[in-house]
Structure 1
Amino acid sequence: MAFTVGNQAPDFTLPNAHPSMGASEMNLGDVMGEKGAIVVFSCLHCPYVVGNIGRIEGLAQRAGENGLGFVAINSNAANPDYASDSAQRTTEACEKGVPYPFLIDTVQSVSKAWGAERTPEFYLLDGNGSLVYRGRYDDSPTNPQMATTSDMMDALDQYLAGESVQNSQTDSIGCSVKWIL
């Protein structure tokens, strides 16, 4: 069952495919910044993730500039049918320049606890680890020029301004998490 806006985020400890950015294993406390964190459930193969890479990297930078931690969690690495999302491929992607920690959900327990359904799926946590926003980045993940919304950035702007997030949950647009049975 997914946790909902206002609830405390489930803790985790996962291996980091990018140990030059964080420890070899990281938990939620390691990710949290003074003002909170952004957690993105992601993968490597999904065209919706690939189409969002520049925006995800920009979001990671903005998070860091504003006292928020940032991490991606590969929710598909556990599924052997998706070799392109394996832990090894995730490490290789990090070596090529991913600018944030990229954790491996080795048995998909974190993805399940958080209720992740799609990649990419964005979660904004406040400084106490409570969920402020959950959902998509915008309504056009493969083509930023076609976007008519800016859901994640609106939520971040409102949160950083000390305002209530007006649209705290949106439907993610992306590939389904590739669950193992």
Structure 2
Amino acid sequence: MNIEDIMPDFDLPAVDGNNHTNNFFDDTQCSLVIFGCNHCPYVVANHQRIVDLYEKFSNDRFKMVMISSNDVIKYPQDSFDNMKNLSQQLNLQFPYLFDASQEIAKTFGAERTPEVFLFGANHQLVYHGSIDDNCMEPKSVNEKFLENAINAVLNDQNVTNNETQAVGCSVKWV
């Protein structure tokens, strides 16, 4: 995806027992899609940061989902049942979606976990890349790329740093 592209359509099952579509983001000013998984050490190192971001910004103007698209045959720790377990362990309050066909990851152009796609009010991509500048050590973070972008969108400002390199494990393709 390129900056200003419109959020792709999706319809995926979530660990909460419901299917969620991109319509989940209707009437929001700021929409976040994170490609993650259960096993990647980069995602594991970001679990608390992801939960904290949700807790900090969650309101009627901001919504987020996390999508796991990994091959569960080669990486059974990323299975739907294990996604449910992780969601319970972390007490996730946002939808954790399963992209078994990997079509949504391909449509977004996701290549890494974690990799974030932030959309503004018109569902246009305004930021793509990493959560921050130190994916493994939260105490060593100097730049909070995603948080800065969310703040800009919620304050009706332009996102000045639209794209950073996503650092993490590769999506595990079938």
- TM-score tier, shorter chain, comes to over 0.9
1:15-34 counterparts in 2 under 5 A?
15-19=13-17, 24-34=18-28
Structure 2 Cα separation of the partners of residues 89 and 129 of structure 1: 30
Matching residue's letter, 1:7: D
1: CA distance, partners of 2:131 / 2:27: 20
Residue aligning to 1:85: 78
Instruction: State the Cα distance separating 1:61 from its structure 2 match.
Output: 1.9
Give per-residue Cα distances to partners, 1:105-160, cap 9 Å, x unaligned. 01100000000011011111112211011110111111111112211111111222
Is 1:175 paired with 2:150? no
Which segments of 5 or more consecutive residues in structure 2 lack a partner in the other structure? none
Change (3 A) 1:144 1:66: farther
Give unmatched runs, 5+ long, in structure 1. none
Deviation for aligned residue 1:100: 1.4
Amino acid at match of 2:2: T
Q: Could you say what the CA RMSD is over the residues aligned between the two structures, in angstroms?
A: 1.4
Q: CA deviation at 1:67?
A: 1.2
After superposition, residues 69-148 of structure 1 pair within 5 angstroms as 69-76=63-70, 78-96=71-89, 97-148=91-142
Contact 2:30 2:150 in 1 (8 A): no
Is residue 48 of structure 1 aligned with residue 42 of structure 2?
Answer: yes
* 1:7 counterpart (5, 14, 30): 5
Aligned residues: 173
Equivalent AA in structure 1 for residue 9 of structure 2: D
Equivalent residue of 1:155, what SS? helix
Structure 2 SS opposite 1:52: helix
Match for 2:6: what amino acid?
A: Q
Q: TM-score, normalised by structure 1?
A: 0.90
- The one-letter code matched in structure 2 to 1:9 is M
Identity among equivalent positions (%) equals 33
Three-state SS of the structure 1 residue aligned to 2:58 is helix
- Distance of 2:11 and 2:57 partners within structure 1: 21
What are the within-5 Å matches in structure 2 for residues 139-158 of structure 1? 139-158=133-152
Aligned mate of 2:54, from 50, 60, 78:
60
Paired residue type of 2:163: Q
TM-score (norm 2): 0.94
2: CA distance, partners of 1:146 / 1:166: 22
Q: Which runs of 4+ in 1 moved over 3 A?
A: none
Contact 2:30–2:153 (CA<8 Å) still a contact in 1? no
